[in-house]
Each structure stands twice: as C-alpha cells, then as structure tokens.
A and B are shown apart, each in its own frame.
Chain A
Amino acid sequence: MSVTLTQEVIDVINGKETKKALATVDKDGRVNVAFKGSLHYEDGLLVVNELLETSQTNKNLTYSLWYDKEVAAVFWGPGATEYQVRGIPRKVLIEGPVYEKAYVAALERNPENDLAGVWYIEPTEFRDLTLPTRIAEQKAKYPILGHLDKDVNPDYYK
C-alpha cells in the first residue's frame, strides 16, 4: 500500500546535500546497496536514474518490478536526519521525452555517462531512522533494553 510522505521528509529526500543510497535484492535474494545521487521524490513516487544497463541495481529493480518486491532507499540529510523509504518499482522509462531529458542531463554531468532508465518506485513504508528519534522510540516502547551503567544514579556513589 502506498504511503504519503510529509513535506519535511520530501525536502530531505530532494535536498542537494542529502546522501542517498538504494538497497535492492536479486532473484536469489542477494542484497546490493549503491549510492544514488539522482534519487528524488516526484508526484508521490521515488524516482531514480540508473546510468548503467549492466549494474546490479538495474537488474534488481527489474526483478522487483516483475515480482512486486520491495527495495529500500535511505536518505542522510542535514543535522544527521536519516529517513528510510521502502517501495516497489512500478515503471521504468527507457525511451520518450522524460527519458531523453534525463539522458541529456546525465550527459551534461559527465559526457561519458549513459542512461539505462528512469525508474519510478511507489513508496510502501516510511521510517524515521534519525538516531535521537529512534532512541526515544525504543526507550518508550522497550524500557527493558539498554545497558545498566547508563541508568546508574551517580549520587549513589557519593
């Protein structure tokens, strides 16, 4: 089921300074992770331009599109903000005006580039992985977890 992302999250996903990576799996379940600077959010979908026809990401995105398998993107933004979006690839453009525009942009960045496809991923799950947020969540939900020394009352030893 598709999820809607808040503007705050979208701003991080689309941020120029944000580090972006995409994790995919192949037909045998082997994981592949790659930095994907082109990842961005557009009209309810994650979009990624895959440059290489033979990349493992390109093959795995195809596999996931064919079999409705999830991929996961992570975004590391300003202030150590970290978001994860899972999703299912729904479409790849390998021709047409949108593809050609992305192709020209890829060549402008580096004339040696090519473009295998413009991939569209439907978000299915969002997670805020920013560390302080996750720590607070874990503390609230599972107070049993964590090391004792952090809970020690310093006044006890005085």
Chain B
Amino acid sequence: METKIENWREKELSIEEVFEKYPEIPKIVILKTDVHRRGYILSEKAQDLFNKGDYQSQADTIFGKKEGENKIPIGLVFRDGTSLVGGYYTNYGIRDPYVIDDIDGKFFLTDNGKVYEEVEFWREPDFYRKKTSKGTPMGEVVNVRPQRLNVAISRVCHFWDKPGEGCKYCNVGINGIDSVKKGIPDLFDYDEVAEAVAEAVKQKGRYAMIMVTTGSILTGKKVFDDEVDEIIKAFEKIKPIFKTNDLKVQLIASAYDKEQLKRLKEATGIIGYTSDIEVMNKELFEWICPGKAAHIGYDEWKKRIFDAVEVFGEGNVNSGIVGGVELAQPNGFKTEEEALEKYLAEAEDFAKHGVSIAYIVWGVCGIFHNQVVPSLDYYVALAKGLNEINIKYNLKPYFDDYRRCGNHPNTDIGRIYW
C-alpha cells in the first residue's frame, strides 16, 4: 500500500459513532466490516499463541513481507458465527489496523487500547496434510473456510492475457501469470480435486457448501464454451462422491449465455450460481473491468445473470461486487453519497429480476494498489441498503450467507430476516 490517510480518525466517523448511527445493524457485523476495511495484525503474545494453535495459516507470506517462523492467519470467526475472510494486513498502511491481542489465553480484537470482541481463528481441517495419490498435499488442491470447501478449476484468468484487460482491483490475474511462469499448469487436476473433496467430507459437520470457481476461460466456439466444458469435466469427477442429483454447490464463474447455463445445470446439478458484475455502473465497469467489457459488455453481463434465474431459480442466483471500488479515482464517483445512491438504484434493478447483490470489502491490490478504501459509514450504509432490497424483493440467498460464504456484510445481516 502506498496511500496513507493522515489523521484518518479525525476525518471519518469512529466505529462508536457508526454503531450509534446504525442501531439496526449489529455491532459485530459493523466491527467485522471495519476489521476487513482496516486490516488486523497480531500482538507478539497473540502471535505466539496463534503459532501454537491448530489453525489454518498461509503457506507463504503475503505482500512480500517476511514473517520469519510465524504462521500467518487467513480468517477469523466471531462469537455469532460471522466469519472474516482474510483481513490480515489487508489495506495495511492506509489506516491503522486492529490489533489482535492475547488476553488470558484468548484472542481479542483491540483498537487504540480498547477491547472489542473475542475472536477465533479458522481451524485446520483433518484432510489438509494428507496427500493425493499423486503425492500433492490436499491443502494445496482444495482450500477451506469454516463451513465451506473451495474448489478452483483454473488458476488463470484469461482476461489478463491481453495487456490492459485485467480487472484493476484484482490480483488473481497477476498471480495466475506468475504461476504460469513457474510452469504450474493452468488447470487443476480434477482427479486430485475429487480425491481431496472425498477425503474432506469424511469430517462430519465440517462443510455445508462447496464453492467452485475459476478464472475466466475465453476460448471455445462461443466465448466461455471451454470454461463450461472444464467445469463439467471437473464435476464428472466430483459428482459421484455424492448421492444427490442436486449438489450443495455455489459456482462463481463468468456470465454464461442461456445455452451454456442449461448445459451446465443439467450436467452438474449445481444449486447456486454467482456471476460477479463487480462494478454496478456501466461507465465504471468499462474502466475497471476492461476485459469483461470488451468480451461481453456490461448490459450483456447483466442480462446473462438475469437469464440465470430462469435456469437456477429465484434465490439461487446472485452477483458479487467489490464494494468501494466504485470510489476509485480518477474516474470513480466523487462522493460516497453519490456512490450509495447510484449503487442502491442499480442493485434494485438486479433484485427486480430475482438477483441479489453481495458485496465484499475491497482489499486494495493489483493495478489499484495505491487507492484508498471508503469510510466505515459507507460500507455499513451499503450493507443496510442491500439488505433492505433483499427484504423488499423477498430474496433469500442462503447459498451465499454467513455460514456458506461469510464474506458479505449484507448477507451476514440477512440471517434474521430470511
């Protein structure tokens, strides 16, 4: 990160003021949102405690930061079951991070000397250190959240193939290019994926969802035909693990046309489908997601998500956005008020077509690494507004809720309304 906001505490509402401004939004969700926005670090004592625990950690350091022998956490769980995905050193340097401290052998989130909430770290699952029949550690094939298995099809997003077409907020494309340079294949080995999934689900109660995602694959007779084919190939290996025809799976992938959607649904039995519009404004989409704009376009991407409701059913289709990226400069909205007004209006258009919107807190990286994320006030207002839209249109995206995903403040709130 390169952009520090000097005296940021004096320039925006404090978390206590935000608690007061939004009494209808639970404090834990506001806190989680703020921790995601500002990031967190560990005190020395907390790091020692974390090192000794049976927690999931990143194999490698992030941001090129040397951490010595220390393990690096990848997520938190709050006492209401809300998850924080990532957060360690996220947006580091823009504002001050929260500090997780060890208080009497337990982890607590603190800020400026004030103790907020006890938190836990994500636990390592039983299968992680086992190896596939080809000798790969299963934790390198499939990764997990507290209640979810994450399966990837392709490591590479091919919107990055042409210089200047990668999404500006994203580092998946950059990482994909790096892995190809290292000689790592584009595609995961689906036999190994199936072995890891089969081993993982032996741990009873550990998973409520498989999330399958892929970098976009643009080739085929029509754009994304090869992507759909690859997903179907992966499911030929995964599906026999389960006895049901419909699978508790959320697919997060490109925006397919109706024929591709039907082919995919029929061949895989996937219940939930997400195609991320990422930026809910046509002009900003064209600036921020130039590859998506060039190959599909904003209006067509939207239409395809709407069409997916016919195939997957209402409540089983949503679209993700990178919350806050709409305020990236120089082309983004100039004020948070304008962004909120335009975003909620556009989210309502999605909702009218049976599609709910789920936002993530923007962690600046990629081409946008020197941008700054908006205020907590903005993120809470966005969560509140999106939740109200879901209620108004009776949308209940359980497949992307606090348990099955955990990365969306607005669906965290939804759990008492649905």
A residues bordering B, Cβ < 8 Å? Answer: 26-27, 53-54, 59-60, 62-63, 65-67, 90-97, 99-100, 103-104, 107, 115, 117
Cβ of B282 < 8 Å from any Cβ of A? no
Cβ of B415 < 8 Å from any Cβ of A? yes
Of the A-B pairs whose beta carbons lie under 8 Å apart in the complex, a sample of 5, sorted by A's number, is A53-B403, A62-B416, A90-B79, A92-B79, A95-B123
Q: Are A94 and B403 in contact (CB under 8 A)?
A: yes
Q: Beyond A92-B79, A99-B205, is A66–B123 a contact (Cβ under 8 Å)? A: no
Q: A75 vs B126: C-alpha distance in the bound complex, in angstroms?
A: 38
Q: Beyond A66-B27, A103-B204, is A96–B120 a contact (Cβ under 8 Å)? A: yes
Q: Are B398 and A93 in contact (CB under 8 A)?
A: no
Point out the residues of chain A lying under 8 angstroms from B123, CB to CB: 95-97
Q: Are A66 and B28 in contact (CB under 8 A)?
A: yes
Q: Are B204 and A65 in contact (CB under 8 A)?
A: no
Q: Are A59 and B81 in contact (CB under 8 A)?
A: no
Point out the residues of chain A lying under 8 angstroms from B120, CB to CB: 96
Q: Are A94 and B79 in contact (CB under 8 A)?
A: no
Chain B 71-95 per-residue mask, 1 if CB under 8 angstroms from chain A, else 0: 0000001011100000000000000
Q: Are B146 and A26 in contact (CB under 8 A)?
A: no
Give the distance to chain B from A45, nearest Cβ to Cβ, in Å.
12
Give the distance to chain B from A101, nearest Cβ to Cβ, in Å.
8
Cβ of B240 < 8 Å from any Cβ of A? no
Point out the residues of chain B lying under 8 angstroms from A96, CB to CB: 77, 120, 123, 146
Q: Are B415 and A94 in contact (CB under 8 A)?
A: no
Q: A91 vs B79: C-alpha distance in the bound complex, in angstroms?
A: 5
Q: A26 vs B26: C-alpha distance in the bound complex, in angstroms?
A: 14
Q: Beyond A53-B398, A59-B415, A104-B205, is A93–B26 a contact (Cβ under 8 Å)? A: no
Q: A65 vs B417: C-alpha distance in the bound complex, in angstroms?
A: 15
Q: Are B418 and A54 in contact (CB under 8 A)?
A: yes
Point out the residues of chain B lying under 8 angstroms from A66, CB to CB: 26-28, 80, 416
Point out the residues of chain A lying under 8 angstroms from B205, CB to CB: 95, 99-100, 103-104, 115
Q: Are B81 and A117 in contact (CB under 8 A)?
A: yes
Point out the residues of chain B lying under 8 angstroms from A100, CB to CB: 203-206
Given contact pairs A60-B416, A66-B28, A91-B79, enumerate 18 new A-B contacts (beta carbons under 8 Å).
A26-B416, A27-B416, A62-B415, A65-B80, A66-B27, A90-B79, A92-B79, A94-B146, A94-B403, A95-B205, A96-B123, A96-B146, A99-B205, A103-B204, A103-B205, A104-B204, A115-B205, A117-B81
Q: Are A62 and B80 in contact (CB under 8 A)?
A: yes
Cβ of B260 < 8 Å from any Cβ of A? no
Tell me the B97-149 residues at the A interface (CB within 8 Å): 120, 123, 146-147
Point out the residues of chain A lying under 8 angstroms from B28, CB to CB: 66
Point out the residues of chain B lying under 8 angstroms from A54, CB to CB: 418
Point out the residues of chain A lying under 8 angstroms from B26, CB to CB: 66-67
Q: A91 vs B204: C-alpha distance in the bound complex, in angstroms?
A: 21
Q: Are A107 and B147 in contact (CB under 8 A)?
A: no
Give the distance to chain B from A34, nearest Cβ to Cβ, in Å.
16
Q: A94 vs B406: C-alpha distance in the bound complex, in angstroms?
A: 12
Q: Are B204 and A94 in contact (CB under 8 A)?
A: no
Point out the residues of chain B lying under 8 angstroms from A67, CB to CB: 26
**Which single residue of chain B is at the shortest CB-CB distance from A97?**
B123
Q: A94 vs B398: C-alpha distance in the bound complex, in angstroms?
A: 15
- The 8 tightest CB contacts between A and B, nearest first, are A103-B205, A66-B26, A94-B81, A95-B146, A100-B205, A91-B79, A59-B416, A63-B416
Chain B 178-212 per-residue mask, 1 if CB under 8 angstroms from chain A, else 0: 00000000000000000000000001111000000
Give the distance to chain A from B31, nearest Cβ to Cβ, in Å.
11
Q: A94 vs B415: C-alpha distance in the bound complex, in angstroms?
A: 13
**Which single residue of chain A is at the shortest CB-CB distance from B207?**
A95
Q: A103 vs B205: C-alpha distance in the bound complex, in angstroms?
A: 6
Give the distance to chain A from B104, nearest Cβ to Cβ, in Å.
16
Q: A117 vs B81: C-alpha distance in the bound complex, in angstroms?
A: 9
Point out the residues of chain B lying under 8 angstroms from A26, CB to CB: 416
Q: Beyond A53-B403, A103-B205, is A93–B80 a contact (Cβ under 8 Å)? A: no
Q: A97 vs B53: C-alpha distance in the bound complex, in angstroms?
A: 13
Point out the residues of chain A lying under 8 angstroms from B27, CB to CB: 66
**Which single residue of chain B is at the shortest CB-CB distance from A92?**
B81
Point out the residues of chain B lying under 8 angstroms from A94, CB to CB: 77, 81, 146-147, 403
Point out the residues of chain A lying under 8 angstroms from B147, CB to CB: 94-95
Point out the residues of chain B lying under 8 angstroms from A63, CB to CB: 416
**Which single residue of chain B is at the shortest CB-CB distance from A66?**
B26
Of A53, A62, A95, A107, the contact of B204 (CB 8 Å cutoff): A107
Q: Which of B28, B79, B80, B417 has the most CB of A within 10 A?
A: B80
Q: A26 vs B123: C-alpha distance in the bound complex, in angstroms?
A: 32
Give the distance to chain B from A109, nearest Cβ to Cβ, in Å.
14
Point out the residues of chain B lying under 8 angstroms from A27, CB to CB: 416-417
Q: Which of B27, B79, B418 has the most CB of A within 10 A?
A: B79
Q: A128 vs B26: C-alpha distance in the bound complex, in angstroms?
A: 33
Q: Are A95 and B206 in contact (CB under 8 A)?
A: yes
Tell me the B24-45 residues at the A interface (CB within 8 Å): 26-28
Q: A104 vs B123: C-alpha distance in the bound complex, in angstroms?
A: 18
Give the distance to chain A from B117, nearest Cβ to Cβ, in Å.
11
Chain B 371-406 per-residue mask, 1 if CB under 8 angstroms from chain A, else 0: 000000000000000000000000000100001000
